[in-house]
Structure 1
Amino acid sequence: MMPVRADLELRLVLGGDRSATVPVRLGYRPADPWAVTAVFRTADGDVTWVFGRDLLDEGLAGPSGEGDVAVWPVATAGGTVLYLSLASPNGSALLEADPVAVREFLDRTYVHVPAGTESSRFDLDAELARLVDDLA
């Protein structure tokens, strides 16, 4: 089954009215049914984050996530903006995304793996074998 991808442009909030555009590729693989991968393309190279598909979906409706990744919508005079907050020991970032583009991406992932059916796509025995092989 082919992965689902979407190339988006997010705005990195720099403070005040300043921001910078950051291209990001969202990716979803049915073989890893709970995860969404976001590859941010920066001048210093690609930065990859992996977080829950459900976290991103829930963040479209209201605040979602604790710790390293949080997502929430904000109504503005120009429409709704989706905020994505990322934090790591190396720093943090606040990004703005178009919620319509994120919803379209998620809807395409649900065509491949409907919500609630993720566990039927996950082979626990194969994953454990892979982990054991990686440790050997």
Structure 2
Amino acid sequence: MHTVVERELELKLILSPKRGIPVPARLAYRTDDPYAVHICFHINSEHPVSWTFARDLLVEGVFRPCGHGDVRVWPAKSGGRVAVVMALSSPDGDALLEAPAAQVSAWLERTLRLVPPGCEVEQLGIDDGLDRLLAQ
């Protein structure tokens, strides 16, 4: 049986240094995909936009800048609040998003209690699969 840890929150899509718009989003972590976090953005379209990237990247990005290429994450202060900033880049465009650090950290803590760092491989059932394959 697999477990899902979800969190609805409102991110801010940064349009300029002084302008941003709210974007409802859902963070999801699944024990059947233990290395990844999933973020689904509910924009004004029939199909939400989803991103998947390493949980470790988000964990580290709460404390210090990390990542390169398509996903970069870093902590920041915005209007007196602590935030986690995510820069996402794809062939379809780029987005700079700001999330409340306390909400992201609390959600990450739940995922880390469920599957501690270094224990992800146990969730994949690789040993069980190999045992079944070799038993044939």
TMscore range, shorter length: 0.7 to 0.9
Q: Which consecutive residues of structure 1, in runs of 5 or more, have no partner in the other structure?
A: 128-136
- Tell me, what secondary structure is at the counterpart of 1:32? coil
Q: CA deviation at 1:18?
A: 1.3
Is 1:24 equivalent to 2:25 in the alignment?
A: yes
CA deviation map 1:47-103 (0-9, x unaligned): 010001000000001011111011001134503221100000010000011011000
Q: CA RMSD in A?
A: 1.9
| 2:83 paired residue number | 81
Question: Compared with structure 1, are the counterparts of its residues 92 and 106 closer, same or farther at alpha carbon in structure 2 (3 Å cutoff)?
Answer: same
In structure 1, what is the equivalent of residue 103 of structure 2?
Answer: 101
3-state SS, counterpart of residue 48 of structure 2 = strand
**Alignment counterpart, residue 94 of structure 2, candidates 82, 92, 101:** 92
Q: Which residue of 1 aligns with 2:7?
A: 6
The runs of 5 or more residues in structure 2 that have no matched partner are 130-136
% same residue: 43
Query: Structure 1: which 4+ aligned runs deviate by more than 4 Å?
Result: none
Distance 2:113 2:51 in 1: 23
Residue 120 of structure 2 corresponds to which residue in structure 1?
Answer: 118
TM-score normalized with structure 2 length:
0.87
Aligned length, in residue pairs: 128
